[in-house]
Every structure is written in C-alpha cells, then in structure tokens.
Amino acid sequence: MKKLFVVLFFTCLALGDWQQSGEIILPKGIQVNDLTTNYSGEIWILSASSILKLEGTSKSPLLVQEIQGGKILAADDYIYIVDNLNRLSMLDPAREDLAQPIKTTLNSPNQISVATADNKRIFITLEPEQLTFVTEEKIVGTISTRADKFSIIPAANYSSTETPFFTLDNNRIYSWSGGTYINTENYTGELLYSASQNILDFTADQSGNLFVLFSDSIVVLNTDGNFKRKIDITHLSPNSKILNNPTNNNLILFDQLDKTLKILSSVSRDEKGDIIVLNKNTPNPVDNYTKIEFTINQPLSLTITVYNLIGEPVKVIARGYYPKGTHQIIWNADDESGHLVPNGVYFYRLESIKGVAIRQLIVLR
C-alpha cells in the first residue's frame, strides 16, 4: 500500500507533446561544478567560486554566496554543499546564511541527494564502488555497487522498503528496493532498462517516471521500466544533464559545452499561464502555526488537505469556492480533532478540477 502511495499521491505527468518553452544562457566563462532543483522549483548552480540561484522565469542567476572549493550539491528546503575536502555543509536559502558545517565527513563522493525517512533527512552519496547512507551525525549504511549516477523519487517515503531508487551503470538502469537506510543489506537491484547507445544522464520525477537522456532524445519510462514515450530534442554535448522541476514537471536540460539551460514543457499545460500557484508556507519549519498562500487565475472550488509522510490525511484546512486572486490560509499545526500534530514532515495538497499542487512542510517545535 505504501508503494501505491508513492506512485499515486503526486500529480501524474501528462505525456502529451513536448516543446521548448525557454532557454537560459549562463554567464560566459562560468565553471559549473554541479546544479540541482529544490522542492520550490528553484535552480541552484554551484560554480567554482560561488553558489547561484535561478527563480521562476528569471533568466539572470542571483549570487547567493561566494564559496571556494564547492564540489557537489543537493537541495530540499535547504542547500547542501560538499567541498573539495569532502566536508558537508548546509545553507538556509531563506536567511542566506553562511554555510553551516554538518558533522559528517564523506568519502570522495561524486553525487549527493537528500531523501526523507522516519521524519528526518537522509543523505545518499555515490562513492567509488558504493552508495552510502548518511545522517547529519554519521554513516548508517552502504550498498556495494558500481554506478555512474543514481536518482531518487523526490519527496518519497524512503522509510518504506517498497520505495525504489535507481542507478545507472554502463548504459543500464537498475531499480533498488527491499531495504531502507538502516538495513541497506536488504536492498536488491533489478535491471530495469538497457540501451545500446550512450546514456548521458537520467532523473526521476515525483510519480516515479524516469527520464533517460540521450544526445538527441529523451526516453520516458514508468517505475517498472515500461516504455511510455520518446521526446526528440536538439543535439546535446556528452556532459549534459537532465533535471526535473517538481513544481510543474518541466524538464531542464543543461548543456555543459555551451552553458545553456533548456526548459521543456508539455504543451498540455495551460497556454495562458498557471491556473494554480501554490506557494511555500511561512514560517517553515512550523512551530504553532503557518501561512499557506495560493493564487488562482479563475474562480475555482478547491480543497487543501494536510497529509502526513505515509499519505494519511491529517486535516482539511480549506474547502469551498474561491474567487480569482491570491488567498491565504492559516494552519495551526493541528489535526481534525484540534490536537497538535507531532514533529515531522508533512505535505499540503491543493486539489481542484483544474489540477493538483503539492508542497512539503516540516513541523518542528
């Protein structure tokens, strides 16, 4: 049942025709060490000397902080940076503080992602011959495997043994399940997809769809590896990357050679703009209350429901007919009975006949 939640709780990708909806040309001479997206849809870029942020439709990266020796990064509500000495640090984008060190020192990682399990953050790092699972205090488990890259399902429940992650090795993609971060020895890998031509990169979206990047196309697979469709693209250089924007399911293609970011959108999207925009709640983490703001470009009947990490509804915080415009809802961090909810990760989901929008929040007292 938990696996069903992972696949169905989030909005499914509409696999209509795709088209390029934007292009961002990065400053000349920039050395991009890594880039990623967070749950708010922002694109974060780690250069040789700084960390930059692209917001929404902005085409000019914003300098957030000068950072020397940054190697790789990951993001959720925070930004995590690994430097050349394999030290892990955290940056709070809301405050734009200097990066704060985390206790754990890693072992030569070349990729890092942040997952959620048991209401806490778990870092997964790709190191030579193994994947390593790390908390903020220590290394908690490893998997011996050769891989060029791995991908997780964004915001999925990785305390469930049925939630898969994926690895890429020698143009083969494997699905791993059966274990968790505290019993990594139970993970087993199953061949999901094999290609005769070179796979440049791959990524997963919130529904578990896989997007496999080739130099001239993107192959879309479901969680079980079944073919869904092929998207033709213009030729990309060998070191190109693919990212998924979790707020709108756009695809972001980064070409390292010409330093461009190409945005691909399904033409089934509303041509006049987003009908629903669900903003990040403030404050977050939540103590005793938080404000949830949304904007709709036409009158709609809708509901907003808070769910816990395993998909159980906690409280309906909005229900009814709302006129066009921006609206704000207050949630007092309580359930339907008025009791305060325990600390942990939660989701709030806005649902209407025009679509669904989902964001994550954290309760921490």
Name the CA dihedral angle for 25, 26, 30, 34, rounded to a multiple of 10 degrees: -110
3-state secondary structure string across the chain: CHHHHHHHCCCCCCCCCEEEEEEEECCCCCCEEEEEECCCCCEEEEECCEEEEECCCCCCCEEEEECCCEEEEEECCCEEEEECCCEEEEECCCCCCCCEEEEEECCCCCEEEEEEECCEEEEEEEECCEEEEECCCCEEEEEECCCCEEEECCCCECCCCCCCEEEEECCEEEEEECCCCCCHHHCEEEEEEECCCCCCEEEECCCCCEEEECCCEEEEECCCCCEEEEEECCCCCCCCEEEECCCCCCEEEEECCCCEEEEEEECCCCCCCCCEEECCCECCCECCCEEEEEEECCCEEEEEEEEECCCCEEEEEEEEEECCEEEEEEECCECCCCCECCCEEEEEEEEECCEEEEEEEEECC
Nearest to 230 by CA among 207, 206, 248, 214: 214
Q: Is 255 found in the same domain as 321?
A: no
Q: Is 160 found in the same domain as 237?
A: yes
Per-residue pLDDT, 8: 31
Q: Is 309 found in the same domain as 189?
A: no
Task: State pLDDT tens for residues 287-296.
Answer: 999 999 999 8
Q: Is 295 found in the same domain as 245?
A: no
Q: Is 139 found in the same domain as 34?
A: yes
Instruction: Determine, yes or no, domain membership for 327.
Output: yes
In CATH, what number is assigned to the domain containing residue 333? 2.60.40.4070
The residue that leads in pLDDT, 141 or 99, is 141
Final residue belonging to a domain, choices 236, 266, 296: 266
Per-residue pLDDT, 147: 95
| In the predicted structure, residue 45 carries a pLDDT above the cut 70 | yes
Quickly list DSSP for 330-350: EE-SB-TTSPBPPSEEEEEEE
Q: Is 238 found in the same domain as 328?
A: no
Instruction: Determine, yes or no, domain membership for 122.
Output: yes
| In the predicted structure, residue 315 carries a pLDDT above the cut 50 | yes
Q: Is 173 found in the same domain as 282?
A: no
Instruction: Determine, yes or no, domain membership for 109.
Output: yes
Segment 336-352 mean pLDDT: 92
Segment 306-311 mean pLDDT: 88
| In the predicted structure, residue 6 carries a pLDDT above the cut 50 | no
| In the predicted structure, residue 176 carries a pLDDT above the cut 70 | yes
Per-residue pLDDT, 328: 93
Task: State pLDDT tens for residues 256-278.
Answer: 888 999 999 875 444 445 678 89
pTM: 0.69
Final residue belonging to a domain, choices 245, 266, 287: 266
Lowest-pLDDT choice from 4-13, 70-79, 86-95, 160-169: 4-13
Q: Is 342 found in the same domain as 251?
A: no
Instruction: Determine, yes or no, domain membership for 251.
Output: yes
The residue that leads in pLDDT, 28 or 308, is 308
Question: Distance between terminal CA atoms of the chain?
Answer: 30
Q: Strand 70-75 vs strand 62-66: parallel, antiparallel, or unpaired?
A: unpaired
Task: State pLDDT tens for residues 121-133.
Answer: 899 999 999 999 9
In whole angstroms, give the CA distance from residue 293 to residue 210.
Answer: 31
Q: Is 290 found in the same domain as 152?
A: no
Task: State pLDDT tens for residues 54-65.
Answer: 876 667 788 888
Per-residue pLDDT, 96: 59
| In the predicted structure, residue 15 carries a pLDDT above the cut 60 | no
Q: Which residues of 354-364 are buried (b: 16+ CB within 10 A; e: fewer)?
A: bbebbbbbbbe
Q: Is 216 found in the same domain as 163?
A: yes
Q: Is 42 found in the same domain as 66?
A: yes
Q: Tell me the range of 153-157, 160-164, 296-300, 309-313 where mean pLDDT is highest.
A: 160-164
Count how many domains the chain has.
2
C-beta separation of 210 from 221 below 8 A: yes
Instruction: Determine, yes or no, domain membership for 271.
Output: no
Task: State pLDDT tens for residues 92-104.
Answer: 877 756 678 887 7
Supply the mean pLDDT for the chain.
Answer: 86
Segment 169-188 mean pLDDT: 94
Per-residue pLDDT, 173: 97
Per-residue pLDDT, 249: 81
Final residue belonging to a domain, choices 266, 295, 322: 266
In CATH, what number is assigned to the domain containing residue 239? 2.120.10.30
What band does 10 get if pLDDT is binned at 50, 70 and 90?
very low
Per-residue pLDDT, 66: 85
Task: State pLDDT tens for residues 218-266.
Answer: 999 988 899 988 999 989 999 999 999 887 788 999 998 889 999 998 7
Instruction: Determine, yes or no, domain membership for 24.
Output: yes
Q: Is 210 found in the same domain as 358?
A: no
Range of the domain at 349: 276-363
Instruction: Determine, yes or no, domain membership for 55.
Output: yes
Instruction: Determine, yes or no, domain membership for 123.
Output: yes
